Amino acid sequence: MKVKLKAQAIRRILARKNLSQNWLAQRIGTSSDYMSQMMAGRRHPSPQMRGKILDVLPDCAFDDLFTLRE
């Protein structure tokens, strides 16, 4: 089972907070290139990466940010 980012939801959340995708990449300790690949669905976030994203966006639940694919 693969976990994908809900890119549109994350973009909306970041926009509401006046934050960028690059800001998120820096906060979770990854490159902006890798973040772009995850947002585009070409890469899947590891369990550790998912945890970091949830830590940086504490107002959001797992289901708000991620979707499960088989």
Calculate mean pLDDT across residues 44-66.
Answer: 96
The number of distinct structural domains making up the chain is 1
CA atoms of 66 and 62, how far apart (whole Å): 6
Model confidence at 15, in pLDDT bands (50, 70, 90)? very high
The share of the chain scoring above pLDDT 90, in percent, equals 96
Model confidence at 23, in pLDDT bands (50, 70, 90)? very high
36: Cβ contacts below 8 Å, ≥ 6 apart: 21
Its domain, for residue 19, covers 2-60
Q: Per the domain annotation, does 18 fall within a domain?
A: yes
The verdict on pTM exceeding 0.75 is yes
CA atoms of 38 and 33, how far apart (whole Å): 9
The domain that holds 54 is classified in CATH as 1.10.260.40
Angle between helix axes 21-28 and 7-16 (nearest 10 degrees) is 100
Q: Per the domain annotation, does 68 fall within a domain?
A: no
Calculate mean pLDDT across residues 34-43.
Answer: 96
